């Protein structure tokens, strides 16, 4: 028995929904299918809410476009959809009323935004469940807000697993057939709509998989699995057959968009393998992610990166041997709500480099100057330097542990491609070696690293 999840690109319109239902029907082992909103709809809902809050009547045109997509899909999928499309219109009218309320008071709270965003999954899963029944499956619609319980946080709610698992198990025990479940959304104990964070439908799939004791959780997207590198830059990048849990977490954090990092938590706890599969190529094996994954034959497993970052370099001769300076730096960043993606400090202690999102630079520098005012005034810190237009790239893999020469091969390949490295960091696990380069060097760096580690004349194949 398995739980399947289909992302927005897999359920974007009537043709894709048909293909998705065919995959589910042909497989025959699914108990729950978690579906996202149609591709682009969640972004459109956010845009509509933001316009309404700004007093821009254009929000109504955005809603018209969203309704048109769902109406068209319904009419293409279901013969004589009269009563059903009437019920769908009633639900959509609720969305219009909420957005109109936002427009009138010119305020969209996080609570209201969660409710508005929920309509993408709710509308699409109603259509999908109705079509699946029309196509001959014993299907029913599941509003996850009735089953997944969270705290009251909006935008990225914390799941209360024990109660959620109990609710899900009891709900499905009383029903035969296949449930089509709204991903991404949940509710608090007061019944208020919450969301699990963007791309949280992966998380929903894992929650339902754990609750139903599934044998497998399948995440269906538009690629054949997790790839060694970005195929837009490296066309020769192959599919990674198997990933350990640790490798998958590293890759997902570093921008491998096929997987939401939180997905792994319930799967790890219940030892359920997670598969990444391709809706457009269902015969492809995909990538299996599990604690018992087979070892990768290559020295590294994959290459990933985070773009749009900046390096903040706190420099000062007075930092050498001074206790507590690093603590002040990171406390200042935390108070400014800035996440440190990568940290590097030489043993000379003359500088501390922190890589952060470029959008957070102004907030970070302001917080650092306030926190380090005394050190700056007394010249123990001479400068807070910012370098923009960077990215963090990382090579990741369990086989790197204890293997001499990995860093040598990496830096030799980058040197031969004339790619300059601004900062380096490696954890004691030796599973991730990260380095900061200029964004303009992205393609050259990625191509040369892939050649060095994955091709027969440059690497392990």
pLDDT of residue 389: 95
pLDDT of residue 185: 97
pLDDT of residue 457: 61
pLDDT digits (tens, 9 = 90+) for 311-357: 999 988 766 666 777 888 889 999 999 999 888 877 656 788 999 99
Q: What is the dihedral of CA 9, 198, 277, 66, to 10 degrees?
A: -20
Residue 459 has pLDDT above 60, yes or no: no
Q: How far apart are CA 273 and CA 259, in angstroms?
A: 13
Q: Average pLDDT, stretch 437-458? A: 90
pLDDT of residue 332: 92
pLDDT of residue 347: 65
pLDDT of residue 255: 59
Residue 240 has pLDDT above 90, yes or no: yes
Q: Which residue has the higher pLDDT, 179 or 374?
A: 179
pLDDT digits (tens, 9 = 90+) for 426-442: 876 778 899 999 999 99
The mean-pLDDT minimum among 32-36, 44-48, 136-140, 254-258 falls in 254-258
pLDDT of residue 36: 96
User: Residue 388's pLDDT band (boundaries 50, 70, 90)?
Assistant: very high
Residue-wise burial string across 268-277, b where 16 or more C-beta atoms lie within 10 A, e elsewhere: bebebbbbbb
Q: Which residue has the higher pLDDT, 340 or 379?
A: 340
pLDDT digits (tens, 9 = 90+) for 69-119: 999 999 999 988 888 999 999 999 999 999 999 999 999 999 999 999 999
User: Residue 260's pLDDT band (boundaries 50, 70, 90)?
Assistant: low
Q: Which residue has the higher pLDDT, 216 or 251?
A: 216
pLDDT of residue 76: 96
pLDDT of residue 461: 44
Q: What are phi and psi of 98, to 5 degrees?
A: -65, -45
Residue 294 has pLDDT above 60, yes or no: yes
pLDDT of residue 12: 96
Q: Average pLDDT, stretch 125-150? A: 96
Q: Which residue has the higher pLDDT, 418 or 428?
A: 418
Average pLDDT for the chain: 91
pLDDT of residue 257: 58
Cross-strand pairs, 287: 276
pLDDT digits (tens, 9 = 90+) for 152-190: 999 999 999 999 999 999 999 999 999 999 999 999 999
pLDDT of residue 319: 67
Residue-wise burial string across 220-230, b where 16 or more C-beta atoms lie within 10 A, e elsewhere: bbbbbbbbbbb
pLDDT of residue 256: 56
Q: Which residue has the higher pLDDT, 297 or 71?
A: 71
pLDDT of residue 447: 95
């Amino acid at each position: 028995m398995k739980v399947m999840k289909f992302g927005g690109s897999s359920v974007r319109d009537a043709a894709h929904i048909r293909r998705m239902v065919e995959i589910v029907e042909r497989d025959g082992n699914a108990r729950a299918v978690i579906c996202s909103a149609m591709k682009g709809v969640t972004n459109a809902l956010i845009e509509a809410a933001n316009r309404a809050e700004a007093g821009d009547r254009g929000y109504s045109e955005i809603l018209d476009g969203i309704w048109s997509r769902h109406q068209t899909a319904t009419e293409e999928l279901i013969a004589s959809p009269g009563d059903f499309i009437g019920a769908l219109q009633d639900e959509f009218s609720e969305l219009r009323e909420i957005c109109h309320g936002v427009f009138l008071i010119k305020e969209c709270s996080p609570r209201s935004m969660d409710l508005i965003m929920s309509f993408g999954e709710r509308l699409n899963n109603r259509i999908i469940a109705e079509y699946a029944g029309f196509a001959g499956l014993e299907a029913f619609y599941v509003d996850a807000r009735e089953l997944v319980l969270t705290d009251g946080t909006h935008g990225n709610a914390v799941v209360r697993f024990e109660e959620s698992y109990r609710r899900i198990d009891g709900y499905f025990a009383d029903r035969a057939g296949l449930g089509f479940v709204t991903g991404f959304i949940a509710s608090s104990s007061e019944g208020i709509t919450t969301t699990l964070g963007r791309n949280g439908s992966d998380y929903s799939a894992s929650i339902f998989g754990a609750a139903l004791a599934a044998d497998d959780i399948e995440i269906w997207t538009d690629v054949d699995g997790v790839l060694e590198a970005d195929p837009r830059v490296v066309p020769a990048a192959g599919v990674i057959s198997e990933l350990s849990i640790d490798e998958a977490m590293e890759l997902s954090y570093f921008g491998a968009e096929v997987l939401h990092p939180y997905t792994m938590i319930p799967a790890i706890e219940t030892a359920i393998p997670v598969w990444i599969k391709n809706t457009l190529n269902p015969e492809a094996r995909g990538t299996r992610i599990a604690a018992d994954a087979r070892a990768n034959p290559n020295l590294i497993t994959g290459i990933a990166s985070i773009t749009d970052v900046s390096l903040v370099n706190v420099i000062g001769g007075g930092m050498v041997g001074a206790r507590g300076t690093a603590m002040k730096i990171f406390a200042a960043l935390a108070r400014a709500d800035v996440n440190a993606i990568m940290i590097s400090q030489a043993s000379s202690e003359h500088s501390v480099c922190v890589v952060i999102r470029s959008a957070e630079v102004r907030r970070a520098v302001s917080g650092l100057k306030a926190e380090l005012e005394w050190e700056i005034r007394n010249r123990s810190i001479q400068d807070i330097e910012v370098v923009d237009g960077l990215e963090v790239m990382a090579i990741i893999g369990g086989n790197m542990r204890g293997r001499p020469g990995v860093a040598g091969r990496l830096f030799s390949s980058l040197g031969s491609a004339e790619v300059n490295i601004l900062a380096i960091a490696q954890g004691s696990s030796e599973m991730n070696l990260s380095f900061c380069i200029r964004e303009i060097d992205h393609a050259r760096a990625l191509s040369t690293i892939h050649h060095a580690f994955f091709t027969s004349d440059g690497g392990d194949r």
